[in-house]
Structure 1
Amino acid sequence: MIDEIQRANRDTRVQYALMLVFGTLCIVAAFAPLQESIRITTVGTLFGFTAGLWVSHLIQVLQSVAEANDDKSNTSATD
């Protein structure tokens, strides 16, 4: 898995790193000795950031695959 991450482009590595950071902070905040309402708000916000990054990453991957398929279709249509 480390090899796959190293082969990934820079945007993907940044997204994975941010997901890891926000996910870790989410877990830490869940067990932090804070007032319950503050803890719930903090965990929800950090989880939202993590989920947003994940969805953004999936959209980016799907877009790159669609563009690659479009380029392949255009190349074969001109041949």
Structure 2
Amino acid sequence: MSSTFTQTIARIDLDTRIQYGMMLLFGGLCLIAAASPLGTLTKAVVVSALFGFTGGLWVSHLVQIIQEAATAQSEADNE
């Protein structure tokens, strides 16, 4: 099972792996900050900023995937 998982991860291009890693990092930090013993205002600011980074990375990733699919479709139509 782990070799299948490793092979699946290896097939994903480097940009996508980096984006997913950063999403996991900022998402995890967001959860840690939410459970931390900070003041309410400080916690709200930190969690909001980390969640914003995570959401921004996700939207950026989706735009990248759509652009790649549109380019591939355009090239397929021209052939």
TM-score for the superposition, normalised by structure 1: 0.90
Tell me the equivalent position of 1:12: 16
Identical counterparts, % of pairs: 47
Tell me the equivalent position of 1:44: 48
Mapped to 2, the partners of 1:6 and 1:32 lie a distance apart of: 35
Alignment of 1:24-43 (within 5 A): 24-43=28-47
Q: RMSD of the TM alignment (CA)?
A: 1.2
- Structure 1 gap ranges (5+): none
Q: CA deviation at 1:72?
A: 0.3
- Structure 2 gap ranges (5+): none
Mapped to 2, the partners of 1:73 and 1:19 lie a distance apart of: 34
The aligned length equals 75
Task: After superposition, give the CA deviation of every residue in 1:6-31 in whole Å (9 maximum; x if it has no partner).
Answer: 21110000000000000000000000
Tell me the equivalent position of 1:58: 62
Task: After superposition, give the CA deviation of every residue in 1:5-62 in whole Å (9 maximum; x if it has no partner).
Answer: 3211100000000000000000000000001000000000000000000000000000
Mapped to 2, the partners of 1:54 and 1:7 lie a distance apart of: 20
